[in-house]
Amino acid sequence: MLGVIGAPDIDALFSAVPKPALKNFSLDLPAHSPEFLVEAHMRALAGRNHAAGDGPFFVGAGAYRHHIPATVDHLIQRSEWLTAYTPYQPEISQGTLQMLFEFQTQVAKITGMDVANASLYDGSTGTAEAVLMARRLTRKNKIVLSGGLHPHYRDVVKAYLKDDPDLVCLSPSPEGQGDILEQIDGNTAAIVIQTPDFYGHLRDLKSAADAAHAQGALLIVVVTEVVSLGLLEAPGALGADIVVAEGQSIGNALNFGGPYLGLMATRRDFIRQMPGRLCGETVDADGNRGFVLTLSTREQHIRREKATSNICTNSGLCALAFSIHMALLGEAGFTRLARLNHANAIRLADALAGVPGVEVLNKTFFNEMTIRTAQPAAGLVERLARRGILAGVPASRLLPGDPEVENLIILAATELTTEADIAALVAALMEELA
């Protein structure tokens, strides 16, 4: 290769690098190994993992274990989907555009909104984009984040706004979302409420929408467990102006934390300030049905100073997986899935309520709840993990340094939670808390 490019040696390839910056020592790495030995080593490392399906699993807090039909993986790995990229040339990307059009239709329907975009990175960045969108729409600055908003989502919003003094973050509390309605004034662009919230509580969106709208502010609703929309009344019907959701639960496995899928939907009047892009339906010169990029607000497509967002992709393969799974479920299946989740959560809550040293804090929930234990939660969860039971997320893991949450565990039950799983958790808790 050096001969082809006309370089005398490898060092010549780095001639432009200043000599003080060049490495002159050997890295402390093992010698190279044959490929089959590396594969064996990697398999051994992977075998040390305790996967979500290896035993009782109650972890949630923003990422959930659901059944994904084999059909989903089979279809998304077809070459016309797997290798398809952003449809810059819509005339030859009709399949991708049709899928995104149907995806948008599904998202708009489950959120109760007029229009949805062709997906975003994930729920947390989608929340930050919604906040920026609300500021553009209202020409106001104040943003109020509910105390029930997922801590990671809150931190992403703070990172986007760079410690903006007009950002009000209410204190997280398992008892409530904070006095968010009292924070609304004439300078408020939006209030952000998650339901079910970080602790699993369901929130009153109608009262929040009325209070926000009375001051000319918008209501942004965040949903981390999208399956809940199969059972709860759609946010759009309750007055939401922008709905952001994490779509991972439908079609997308946990995957060690990603990639995930951001959903966003809004009212028709706000469409031109929505980030990302929008696929639309049209007809060609011969009157045949076709699909186009109706709206694209990304800085790649227009002048940077005119762009509403610099989001440069849309998690397209994850959106496809979501859309295929949702199509397989259908409306009746989506509702049935949500009912199964809620029924299993009721069984879990009832069982936990009978464990000495455990208090269930939720009066309302969908498939997730918070318990207070007689011992610090982090150590208790670790001991249960050594028993092969992944018992949930200690709230202190996501809210470090907050003594109020030291004994709190957030647990989720899905359609995959069995009675045997619940019995194993209850028995282990009784032993550990005795």
User: Is residue 86 scored above 70 in pLDDT?
Assistant: no
- Last-in-domain residue among 266, 295, 327: 327
Residue 307 binned pLDDT confidence (cut-offs 50, 70, 90):
confident
Question: Helices (H) and strands (E) in the chain — how many of each?
Answer: 12, 13
Is 46 inside a domain boundary?
A: no
Is residue 263 included in any domain, yes or no? yes
- In sign, the C-alpha dihedral spanning 122, 366, 101, 302 is negative
Neighbours of 38 (CB within 10 A): 11
Confidence of residue 79 (pLDDT cuts 50, 70, 90): confident
- b vs e for 119-152, b when ≥16 Cβ sit within 10 Å of the residue's Cβ? bbbbbbbbbbbbbbbbbebbebebbbbbbbbbbb
Q: Is residue 14 included in any domain, yes or no?
A: no
- Check pLDDT > 90 for residue 319: yes
Q: What is the pLDDT of residue 265?
A: 98
CA pair distance 96, 76, nearest whole angstrom:
12
User: Where does the pLDDT of residue 76 fall: very low under 50, low under 70, confident under 90, or very high at 90 and above?
Assistant: very high
Specify if 8 maps to a domain.
Answer: no
Per-residue confidence (pLDDT) for residue 91, from 0 to 100: 73
Length of the chain: 434
**Beta strand residue intervals within 120-181, DSSP E:** 142-145, 167-169
Burial class (CB within 10 angstroms; exposed 0-12, middle 13-18, buried 19+) of 287:
exposed
The last residue of a domain, from among 302, 327, 352: 327
Average pLDDT for 288-299: 78
| 118-139 pLDDT tens trace | 999 999 999 999 999 999 999 9
**What CATH number does the domain containing 226 carry?**
3.40.640.10
Q: Does 386 lie in the same domain as 374?
A: yes
Give yes or no: residues 335 and 229 share one domain: no
Residues 290 and 348 in one domain: no
- Verdict on whether the full-model pTM lies above 0.75: yes
**134-158 average pLDDT score:** 97
pLDDT over 90 (residue 260): yes
Note every long-range contact of 68-71, with CB atoms under 8 Å and residues 24 or more positions apart, other chains counting: 68/251, 68/252, 68/253, 68/321, 68/325, 69/325, 69/328, 71/324, 71/328
Query: Is the residue at 41 inside a domain?
Result: no
Q: What does the mean pLDDT of the chain come to?
A: 93
Residues 286 and 271 in one domain: yes
Rounded to an integer, what distance in angstroms lies between the CA atom of residue 378 and that of residue 396?
Answer: 7
Count the domains in the chain. 2
Query: Within a domain: residue 45?
Result: no
Residue 302 lies in a domain: yes
What is the residue range of 299's domain?
Answer: 70-327
Are residues 162 and 63 part of one domain? no
Residues 133 and 267 in one domain: yes
Question: Is residue 180 domain-resident?
Answer: yes
Mean pLDDT across 399-413: 95
Question: How large is the average pLDDT for residues 28-48?
Answer: 92
Domain endpoint, select from 312, 327, 342: 327
For residue 303, the model assigns a pLDDT of 63
